[in-house]
Amino acid sequence: MADGLGLESLQVGDLVKLSLAMTPTRVTRVDQSYAYVEWPWGEIDPESRFRWDGGRAFARNPDSQDWVDSPYRTDPEPWHLTENAMCMVGIPETIAQVVDIHRCEQPQDVGWLPRPRVMLGIIPADRPEYMDDEDAGDTLYFPSAEPIAIKRAAE
């Protein structure tokens, strides 16, 4: 975690500033609903009981809750992506609110490496109405192969 923010100090309700440098990747597939990209971080866990394919899907509808909720962005946006095109993926500096924290004694089998011990449920800070919506938001996993910078946001 960048800037020395210890995950153990986070609490539900905290505001955090996130960023992840935009990184080049390739669009592997596009359908009516999603654009799929090769995830440039992490690796498939060969001993996992899950079969992560090494990618991530991005909603192609700019009004989709999947797109609005996630801090991750592509450049160009998913609705402009075509199969086999190159694009950038990352997290532009953004403020999110922590809505859930799941800490685990043992690393969790999620399909990729490194196996996380902490999962942070987050929502966009400008969407407080999502606070009690279990389907809203996104999850960040730590430790992470993604070099996410995260620090407590000035309130």
- What per-residue confidence (pLDDT) applies to 126? 86
Q: Are strands 118-124 and 86-103 parallel, antiparallel or unpaired?
A: antiparallel
- What per-residue confidence (pLDDT) applies to 133? 72
Tell the residue number behind the tokens 């999603």, with chain if given.
34
Query: Which residues contact residue 132 at a Cβ distance below 8 angstroms, ignoring those fewer than 6 apart?
Result: none
Query: Using CA of residue 111, residue 32, residue 123, residue 74, what is the dihedral sign?
Result: positive
- What per-residue confidence (pLDDT) applies to 2? 41
CA–CA dist 135, 151 (Å, integer): 25
- What per-residue confidence (pLDDT) applies to 89? 98
pTM of the model: 0.89
Tell the residue number behind the tokens 């407080």, with chain if given.
128
- What per-residue confidence (pLDDT) applies to 3? 40
Q: Which residues of the chain have pLDDT under 70?
A: 1-6, 130-131, 155
- What per-residue confidence (pLDDT) applies to 7? 72
- What per-residue confidence (pLDDT) applies to 4? 45
